[in-house]
Amino acid sequence: MGGMVPEDLYELQWASDPRLSPDGRLVSFTVSGLDRASNDYKSRIWLTAADGSGNPLPFTSGDKQDGAGRWSPDGSQLAFVSDRDTKSSQVFVIPAAGGEARRITDLPEDVAQAAWSPDGSSIAFSARVRDAAYEETDEGKRAPRRFRRLQFKLDSVGWTGDRRGHLFVVPADGSEPPRQITSGDFEDSDPSWSADGARILFCSARDDDWDVSFVRDLYEVDVSGGEPRRLTEIGGTTGSPQWSPDGSRIAFYLYPAVEDDPRHTQVAVLEVASGDIRILTDSLDLQCSPYPEVREPLWDGDSILFGVEKGGNLHLYRVAADGSGKPEAVLEGEHYVGGYDTRAGILVHTSSVGTRPYELFCGDRALTEVTSAFLAGRSLSPAERYTAISADGSEVDAWIMRPPDFDADKRYPVLLNIHGGPFAQYGNGFFDEFHVYTAAGYVVLFSNPRGSSGYSEEWGRAIRGPGKLGGGWGSVDYEDVMAVVDTALERFSFCDSERLGVLGGSYGGYLTSWIVSHTGRFKAACSERAVNDFYTTWGSSDFGWDFKGYTGSYLFEDRDAYLAISPHIYAHDIHTPLLILHSENDLRCHIEQGEQLFTTLRLLDRDVEMVRFPSESHELSRSGSPVHRVMRFEVILEWFARYL
């Protein structure tokens, strides 16, 4: 039985976003996959009994994208977001007993973050509001965009300076059109209703110079609209606020500083009456808001549930809202906890392991088998954890995966994979890329070098600089991943030291470019959506200027620091055949980052190839068009087959 090939992406399915009905009997969840015919993604809302009785069944129908199912407070209805009738995603409401879904919004932009009012009469949501210039559909006639703020574009979203995000309220019965309750040249998001239904809590920044910082505070606004009231002045970034059931407290995620990256995001509570803020999770010294975010902090009586990145796993923790006692693990183990919910003493969650995408569980009992058809026809290799010893003696978590038809007497080419971020982690969740590479006959290595999340804050901040803050990107992180390779070659005789490849995306692409400009050990490399020149990414990225958080200075304050950590500056030392893979609509690492390096290497007559994907963003490998995701795999496999 073979492993996973690129075309198998179309067979993948996974469960996400479980939500319990108010009485705890039923679970709504989303089943998603890739659709070959439409070259798009498809998803449906499903229902199943929380006690495992009966079989899970699709609740919504169609071949579009239904998701974000949310129960009404009395459990009689389910709101969800779908693009079934329009080009943009809108809010629909359907009776919980079944029946026809009715659309209650009709806006030109996607709606998101739908939340029921406590009495079930209304739904709040966020959406972007277009400038009047968009009414001209002929771009050759449309008025020019005029920006006075830095935050005017965002990867995978596009132009935001003339499409600001705001909050709306709509009657749940659709009897009136949505009413916009925030406005202005600001970005408002994450609506949450007060217990009495009179106010809506949200995250925003509304100072005169809000755009030159990533400080975000908590605000509230009357449900009828009006001037928002600021609730915090915290000097950090707030996210996903949730009012306590009694309305006395607000739980939220807090990134405690800006321009001082990376820091662990914490779970915090605001006492509404006094304005006091209590951080509940700093004793963990772990990242308490995994990326991408799983869900908002979840109130459960007088405690709060939240996700934690820990050593290549994603666990679920609980902490008392009054700060008494330390956070305690609820779900541990060698796996990734995805979505979760609790009602009436019942806890459900989704979970993924290295050889299985996300399924829905209640405790140890699996409630779904949405991945079984995919798994039945394939042999997927498990990952084995090992420890690498870096140049300075630091211990680095690493994993090795063998080809599905592994033969201990053979020697295999090796691919070192480097994750993005850098404040992110690899680990024990399902990752399609690793299975495609092992099925093609490669041994796969991956790790969490310094700079990664999932460990202490000191570990994540070890690559700040260069200068007085540390060595910067390409310092101890480079030493760590090279130690991962060296340790594997020492311990696993089936790894062929003469056939080494390296690849990664975003920060992983950066470190790939850095590696091949500092060593000739690898026979081929693929640098994808990378930062190759910090000097030019400063103004081309959607927030390149925020690298001050790592370097300690803006570009115009210390140009030498930005140049010192740029792989492009060392391009003359690159002799490894290099595939530069980039998306033409990437606003995070603009395509000029790939073009800079490609131009230099071609003029140096080096073995280099650039592959450009049209209409794709920085998220190509995760949420790009299915056809392009398959093509991307084929390009990468062909490249390494050519040299390894």
Residue 391 CB-half CA count within 13 A = 9
Are 335 and 408 contacting, i.e. CB atoms less than 8 angstroms apart?
no
Tokens found for residue 382: 């498990």
Does the structure show a pLDDT above 90 at 147? yes
Average pLDDT of the residues in 387-407: 98
CATH 3.40.50.1820 fits 383-643, yes or no: yes
Mean pLDDT of 109-133: 98
**pLDDT above 70 coverage of the chain, percent:** 100
Pull the structure tokens for residue 198: 């009179």
Query: Could you tell me the strand order of the sheet in which 237-243 lies?
Result: 237-243, 249-255, 266-271, 277-279
Instruction: Please state the rounded mean pLDDT for residues 606-613.
Output: 98
Give Cβ neighbours of residue 577 (< 8 Å, ≥ 6 apart). Answer: 523, 524, 525, 607, 608, 642, 643
Give the model's pLDDT for residue 2: 85
Mean pLDDT over residues 219-236, rounded? 97
Which helix (H) or strand (E) is 353 found in, with range?
Answer: strand 346-353
pLDDT tier for residue 292 given thresholds of 50, 70 and 90: confident
pLDDT for 85 beyond 90:
no
Rounded distance, CA 327 to CA 275, Å? 23
State residue 285's pLDDT score. 98
Both tokens of 115, joined, read 């939340």
pLDDT in tens, 530-548: 999 999 999 999 999 999 9
Distances (CA, A) of 112 to 216, 253, 538, 572: 19, 19, 30, 47
SS (H, E, C) 510-528: HHHHHHHCCCCCCCEEEEE
Per domain, the residue ranges of the chain are 239-343, 383-643
Quickly list DSSP for 532-549. Answer: --HHHHHHHSTTGGGGHH
User: Residue 62's pLDDT is what?
Assistant: 86
Taking a C-beta distance cutoff of 8 angstroms, is the pair 636, 502 a contact? no
DSSP 585-621: T-SSS-THHHHHHHHHHHHTT-SEEEEEETT--TTHH
What is the CATH code for 239-343? Answer: 2.120.10.30
pLDDT digits (tens, 9 = 90+) for 429-459: 999 999 999 999 999 999 999 999 999 999 9
Nearest one of 235, 225, 240, 250 to 205, comparing CA atoms: 235
State residue 368's pLDDT score.
98
| 254/268 Cα distance (integer angstroms) | 6
pLDDT tens profile 241-286: 999 999 999 999 999 999 999 999 999 999 999 999 999 999 999 9
Beta strands, E only, 39-149 = 40-49, 57-58, 66-71, 77-82, 90-95, 102-103, 111-116, 122-130
CA distance 214 to 257: 9
Q: Report the C-alpha gap between 535 and 532 in whole angstroms.
A: 9
Please compute the mean of the pLDDT values over residues 568-586 and round it to a whole number. Answer: 98
Name 138's Cβ contacts closer than 8 Å, sequence gap at least 6: none
Q: Is the pLDDT of residue 1 over 80?
A: no
Asked if residue 7 has pLDDT above 90, the reply is yes
Residue pair 208/216 in contact (Cβ under 8 Å)? The answer is: no
621 token code pair? 């490998």
Structure confidence at residue 377 as a pLDDT band (50, 70, 90): confident
Per-position DSSP letters for 131-185, written without gaps between them = -GGGG---TTTSPPP---SS--EETTTEE-TTEEEEEEEEETT--S--EE---SS
How far, in Å, CA of 251 to CA of 268, rounded?
6
Cα distances (Å, whole numbers) of residue 429 to 112, 132, 315, 582, 609: 26, 45, 12, 25, 32
